[in-house]
Amino acid sequence: MDDLGRVHRPGVLDVVGDRVAWVGSPSDAPREGVRDERRVGGLLMPGLVNTHGHAAMTLLRGAGDGLPLRRWLTEAIWPREARLVPEDVWWGTQLGCAELLRSGVTTTCELYLHSRAVADAALDAGIRCVLTPGIFDLPGGGPTATWRHFLDDAGQLHAQYEGRDGRMTVGLGPHAAYTLPPEGLATVARAALDLDALVHIHVAETCEEDRAVRAMHGCGAPEALARAGVLDGRVLAAHCVWLDADGLDLFSRHDVAVAHCPQSNAKLGSGVADVGAMVARGIRVGLGTDGPASNDNLDLWEEMRLAPLLARAVACDASVMGTLDALALATRGGAAALGLACGALVPGLAADFVRVELDDAAFVPGGGDAEILAHLLWAASSRLVTDVWVGGRRVVRAGECTTVDLQRARREVAARARRLAD
């Protein structure tokens, strides 16, 4: 997944510390100073990058099935989230991280509540994480569940976790323009600029949302964010299903990145984002799973396949979004959207990579590089991911996540989910 889309058959990947040091053919591989040489077989590729997730929502998986977004939030999700405690979120995130890692996801951008628990669980699981603490007024959450309180806490989290570990980056996660007043958006914008922090926000997810934003701000979401100063900093906008041409142009001028979540948007009946129009304007686009309550899994491989399927179906054009383009959305494109040095097997980037088993019917018949890549996208799936490394550390071995007590995490999440639903 480098600039040239090269495939090395056979290939050597040289890792020094937590970085890729060299990639190429065995005949040219550096030998001096090599301490550990492993023949792993299969196919090595960059780990997938999840640009929009709420992993802790394993606690809420299946809640509100069949409801559109607004009713899903108000009737099924927010009442449960108002009863969350940090330990719930820690276990929910642990289970979510195990699911992400086992499906080949090595980086996730997380927006949720009780963010210290999210940070600690992600660090313990060994995944690379962009932590963006949720900021909004949570209905039923009590006197401290306000955007002001959450913003203050996010600033403390940034001071506590930013730079503490090379795998953790901290931004700000204002929920959306329809859940924050103009004053809230402006205050978040100033804080983000002061911290040089990424702003991660839901934008134009549904048609109904646009009406709510206009009632609160007197304009659409992109213009509301611009007026508040949010677009003056680094921004990642999730969903962006209902952006018009003016909104897309505004995002292009301000270099706003987009997290495309095709499966969640389809399940909630929200629509299909026009990724082709975004790419044509030079907008950075990555893929996101959203949460396991609106997807209902954390398998980014499915997003990587669904994104080009929808793009081609909407355009009635099989040439739209080629194989390498789709693979890039899930790897280097996601890394670019997050501003991270990962997502490709290139010297100097993070040694985040996965092994895919080739001894499977999905890769029959064989062929050249183009056929291998096509099989990887269209025929293979996350079930063929056998091993995963994050920063050079193996966190999945032979299909098993080595960093999470999966059996206990399942029991804990199941019991806590029952309490939240009561």
* HEC per residue, the chain: CCCCCCCCCCCEEEEECCEEEEEECHHHCCCCCCCCCCCCCCEEEECEEEEEECHHHHHHCCCCCCCCHHHHHHHHHHHHHCCCCHHHHHHHHHHHHHHHHHCCEEEEEEEECCHHHHHHHHHHHCCEEEEEEEECCCCCCCCCCCHHHHHHHHHHHHHHHCCCCCCEEECEEECECCCCCHHHHHHHHHHHHHHCCCEEEEECCCHHHHHHHHHHHCCCHHHHHHHHCHHHCCEEEEECCCCCHHHHHHHHHCCCEEEECHHHHHHCCCCCCCHHHHHHCCCCEEECCECCCCCCCCCHHHHHHHHHHHHHHHHCCCCCCCHHHHHHHHCHHHHHHHCCCCCCCCCCCECCEEEECCCCHHHCCCCCHHHHHHHHHHCCCHHHEEEEEECCEEEEECCEECCCCHHHHHHHHHHHHHHHHC
pLDDT-above-90 percentage for the chain: 94
Q: Residue 289's pLDDT band (boundaries 50, 70, 90)?
A: very high
Q: pLDDT tens for residues 218-248?
A: 999 999 999 999 999 999 999 999 999 999 9
Residue 32's pLDDT is what? Answer: 86
Decide if pLDDT at 255 tops 90. Answer: yes
Q: pLDDT tens for residues 336-377?
A: 999 999 999 999 999 999 999 999 999 999 899 999 999 999
Decide if pLDDT at 322 tops 90. Answer: yes
Residue 142's pLDDT is what? Answer: 87
Entry pTM: 0.97
Decide if pLDDT at 33 tops 90. Answer: no
Mean pLDDT of 212-223: 94
Residue 263's pLDDT is what? Answer: 97
Decide if pLDDT at 422 tops 90. Answer: no
Domain boundaries, the chain: 1-422
Decide if pLDDT at 80 tops 90. Answer: yes
Mean pLDDT of 180-207: 97
Mean pLDDT of 263-269: 96
Decide if pLDDT at 141 tops 90. Answer: no
Residue 164's pLDDT is what? Answer: 86
Q: Residue 31's pLDDT band (boundaries 50, 70, 90)?
A: confident
- CATH for 1-422, options being 3.40.50.300, 1.10.1740.10, 3.20.20.140, 2.60.120.380: 3.20.20.140
Q: Residue 318's pLDDT band (boundaries 50, 70, 90)?
A: very high
Q: Residue 35's pLDDT band (boundaries 50, 70, 90)?
A: confident
Q: pLDDT tens for residues 147-180?
A: 999 999 999 999 999 988 999 999 999 999 999 9
Mean pLDDT, the chain, integer = 96
